[in-house]
Structure 1
Amino acid sequence: MSVFEVYKQSLSVKYKASLCSKAFLLYLVIVLLTFFLPFLFCYKSHGLWLKYDKYLEQPEVEFKFEYLLISETSDPLVPLICGIYPEKVITTGFCPMIKVAEEDRNMDGIKDNLNFQLNLMTNETFDINSVTLLLFFNFKIHELCLLEMESMAVITHSSAIPGGKLDLIGDLKLVQKTPLDCSLKNPIRMKNSILQFETSDWLFNIYKDYLKRSIYTKLDNVLFKWTKGRSYQQPFIINVKINYDEVEIVYKPKFWQIIKWAWMQYFSILILTLFIFKKVKRFLFTNHIVNTRIAKLT
Structure 2
Amino acid sequence: MCPTKHKQKHHHSAAAIAIEDWREEVINGGSLKHVDLHTGSNGWASPPGEIFSLRGPDYLTGKAKIPSGDWLLNPAGVDWLRSNAKLDHVLARPDNRVMNALRRSKNAKTFLVAINLQVPGRDHYSAVFYFSSKIDEPINSNPLLYQFINGSDAFRNSRLKLVNNIVKGPWIVKRAVGNYSACLLGKTLNCHYHRGPNYLEIDVDISSSAIANAILRLTLGCTSAVIVDMGFLVEAQTEDELPEKLFGAVRISQMELSSATVVDSGTPSNKVLPINSGGESENEDDE
Q: Same fold (TM over 0.5)?
A: no
**Greater fraction strand:** 1
Q: TM-score of the superposition, structure 1-length normalised?
A: 0.22
**Greater fraction helix:** 2
